[in-house]
Amino acid sequence: MGKLRTKRIGVMGGTFDPIHTGHLVAAEEARIQFQLDQVLFMPSGYPPHKEERNNLAAEDRYVMAVIATADNSDFKVSKMEIERPGPSYTIDTIEQLHGEYGKNTQIFFITGADAILEILTWKEPEKVLREAVFIAATRPGYDLAKLEQALPKVEKTSQAQDPQIIVMEIPALAISSTDIRIRIKESRPIRYLVPDGVCEFIEKNGFYR
């Protein structure tokens, strides 16, 4: 009997408040570069490292992610972190994913370079770094000096032989959810910054005004 092929699952986590074109471009670039079988978009429930702010309801952020990814069969949206009570810890998500997809699955977390700087403050960072590969998505021109200074500490903590953090530049990441919310509040256009369906959903519900 032949050896089972390792599944390669990408996880694109975030508040997605709102999801935008930069998220989709980053997910597709990671899927191609790292030969991922699927990318799971995972709206966070209660992210422990985010500053408290009045995020849209989790269900609304989930619906926007579904709308944004509907035309790509390689993308799927998961309610895992929304439905799990308490703070959304990455290690809990990894363990739950291995439970669903099997231990013969390699998990690739697609996250922002800024989030990587906080990785050593996460719950059980050594285990997180052993169990998953992190793709640090960043915009061209981002100052990588801080990340380069942090990586030796991170890799030492992980005790992994292979690099667990890979930097991936994405031009579209100059777009930000914060800027989109500000533009809406100021009645400035967001067309092409978010998918058309997401733009219509935001307008219909009067979000961010």
- Collect all residues with Cβ–Cβ distance below 8 Å to 136 and sequence separation of at least 6: 111, 112, 113, 115, 116, 147, 165, 166, 167, 168
When the pLDDT of each residue in the chain is averaged and rounded to a whole number, the result is: 87
pLDDT digits (tens, 9 = 90+) for 88-104: 888 999 999 999 999 88
pLDDT computed for residue 180 by the predictor: 98
Looking at the DSSP bridge assignments, the partners of residue 12 are 41, 110
pLDDT at 182 over 70: yes
Domains and CATH numbers, the chain: 7-174 (3.40.50.620)
State pTM to two decimals. 0.88
pLDDT at res. 68: 98
Q: Which residues contact 177 (CB under 8 A, 6 or more apart)?
A: 15, 16, 17, 18, 19, 20
Is the model's pLDDT at 156 over the cut of 60?
A: no
